[in-house]
């Protein structure tokens, strides 16, 4: 990264930090506001109820202006973890990482290894690629093998009067206001959305899921 770029990034970071926050926005001092900073995670039944939708958002509190230049980091791997046997250890992963304007997906597949370090299971027979949707463009969606894929900027779906919560915690307010004020209104995130047939991730019963961001060493 060039020095000017770093300076701009630092400036943007300090602004983001100043407004700072919440669902998982800003919970990671080591990577706060950076390209691996996860803001949110969702898992819900799809429009087609035999499918499950997984959403990972990163790089929170993007203003519209900042969104147009925000990009996924090619050194960052986003990994959806799925535990199918209730031991809080991933049995399946869905990996997503960008290259040259496209988001590549691998899985659901058994990980090469569980835990904090990952390698990309690029030999998985479940593999797909989608063009990353540019800011302002219509959402580009790819479908393959019953799965659907999207990557690009979206409105931050999280809503919370985080500023008042902070005031309460700091002892400066005794309760929330009514109406409250959504701290995340008008801001964007970078989103990765995958829809997967439930038959590929356990079929029935209950699974445990979480999302991780990992950086190439």
Partner 1 sequence: MKFNTIKLLSLAIAVSLVAVNCSDDDDNTTAPTEINFSGTYMQEDQMGRPAINTVFVNDGMKDTFNTTVPSEMGAAFQAAFQAKLEALSPAYDPASPEDANALGFTAEQFTGVLATDVLTVSLDAPTTFFDGTNILTGRNLTDDVIDVELILIFGGEDGLTNPEYPGLTSDNVAANDKTFLTSFPYLASPW
**From candidates 10, 27, 71, 85, binder to partner 1 by CB under 8 A:** 27
Nearer to partner 1, 18 or 44 (CB): 44
Q: Rounded to whole angstroms, how far apart are CA atoms 14 and 71?
A: 18
Establish if 191 lies at the interface with partner 1 (CB under 8 A): yes
Q: Which of residues 109-148 bind partner 1 (CB under 8 A)?
A: 114-120, 122-123, 127-129, 131, 135, 139-145, 148
Establish if 59 lies at the interface with partner 1 (CB under 8 A): no
**With contact defined as beta carbons under 8 Å apart, do 185 and 156 qualify?**
no
Token pair 């590549």 is found at 104
Establish if 61 lies at the interface with partner 1 (CB under 8 A): no
**From candidates 13, 43, 109, 146, binder to partner 1 by CB under 8 A:** 43
Establish if 184 lies at the interface with partner 1 (CB under 8 A): yes
**With contact defined as beta carbons under 8 Å apart, do 93 and 121 qualify?**
yes
Nearer to partner 1, 4 or 206 (CB): 206
Establish if 21 lies at the interface with partner 1 (CB under 8 A): yes
Name the nearest CA neighbour of 19 among 7, 32, 6: 32
Mark residues 144-163: x for contact with partner 1 by CB under 8 A, - for none. Answer: xx--x-x--xxx-xxxxx--
Name the nearest CA neighbour of 95 among 79, 108, 116: 79
Find the shortest distance in angstroms from Cβ 216 to partner 1.
5
Nearer to partner 1, 11 or 45 (CB): 45
Residue 61, burial from CB neighbour count under 10 angstroms (0-12, 13-18, 19+): buried
**With contact defined as beta carbons under 8 Å apart, do 201 and 73 qualify?**
no
**From candidates 9, 19, 109, 198, binder to partner 1 by CB under 8 A:** 198
Mark residues 68-107: x for contact with partner 1 by CB under 8 A, - for none. Answer: --------xx-----x---xxx-------x-xx-x-x---
Name the nearest CA neighbour of 95 among 108, 114, 85, 84: 108
The region, left, alpha or beta by phi > 0 then psi within -120 to 50, assigned to residue 136 is left
Nearer to partner 1, 72 or 212 (CB): 212
Nearer to partner 1, 12 or 37 (CB): 37
**With contact defined as beta carbons under 8 Å apart, do 196 and 94 qualify?**
yes
């Amino acid at each position: 990264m060039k020095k000017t770029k770093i300076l701009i990034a630092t400036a943007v970071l300090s602004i983001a930090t100043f407004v700072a926050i919440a669902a998982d926005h800003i919970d990671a001092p080591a990577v706060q506001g950076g390209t691996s900073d996860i803001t949110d995670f969702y898992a819900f039944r799809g429009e087609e109820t035999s499918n499950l939708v997984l959403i990972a958002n990163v790089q929170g509190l993007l203003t519209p202006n900042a969104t147009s230049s925000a990009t996924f980091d090619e050194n960052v791997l986003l990994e959806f973890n799925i535990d199918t046997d209730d031991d809080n250890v991933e049995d399946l992963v869905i990996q997503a990482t960008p290259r040259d304007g496209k988001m590549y997906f691998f899985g659901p597949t058994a990980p090469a290894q569980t835990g904090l370090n990952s390698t990309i299971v690029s030999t998985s027979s479940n593999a797909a690629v989608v063009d990353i949707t540019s800011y302002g463009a219509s959402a580009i969606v790819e479908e393959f093998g019953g799965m659907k894929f999207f990557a690009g900027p979206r409105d931050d779906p999280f809503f919370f009067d985080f500023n008042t919560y902070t005031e309460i915690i700091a002892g400066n307010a005794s309760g929330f206001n009514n109406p409250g004020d959504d701290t995340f209104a008008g801001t964007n995130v970078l989103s990765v959305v995958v829809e997967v047939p439930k038959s590929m991730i356990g079929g029935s019963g209950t699974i445990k899921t979480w999302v991780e961001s990992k950086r190439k060493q």
